[in-house]
Amino acid sequence: MSYRVEIRSTVFRNLTRLGLSDCVLVDIHLRIMKLREDPWQFLRRTKKPFDGMTYSVNFIDPENRFTVHGFVFQVIYSQDEETLFVVRGEYGRFSNL
């Protein structure tokens, strides 16, 4: 079963305001879309930073190999249980220097 994934406009707006490069924005969007096929492979029940189901992603910046981007998104299921909503997100940048 394939799920539909919708990113709340506030999450998308906040991501673009971070000043991330286009390749990082595209990469995180593609990783969020991975939830369509098998969300239970990626979602975890957490208390922090969000109380609920979360999707965490860490990856090395393709333009600066010393920088690691970390994202955590809160994800909820719709009532029809066929749609996943990405409703909030947190971001952190780490340097390996």
The pLDDT assigned to 96 comes to 79
Domain ranges of the chain: 4-95
Cα radius of gyration (the chain): 14
pLDDT at residue 97 tops 80: no
Q: Name the average pLDDT for the chain.
A: 95
Tens digits of residue pLDDT in 39-55: 999 999 999 999 999 99
Beta bridge partners of 20: none
Q: How far is CA 55 from CA 6, 32, 47, in A?
A: 14, 8, 13
Tens digits of residue pLDDT in 84-96: 999 999 999 999 7
DSSP 95: E
Beta bridge partners of 93: 69
Architecture of domain 4-95: 2-Layer Sandwich (3.30)
Tens digits of residue pLDDT in 8-25: 999 999 999 999 999 999
Instruction: List helix spans (H) across the chain.
Output: 9-17, 22-33, 39-42
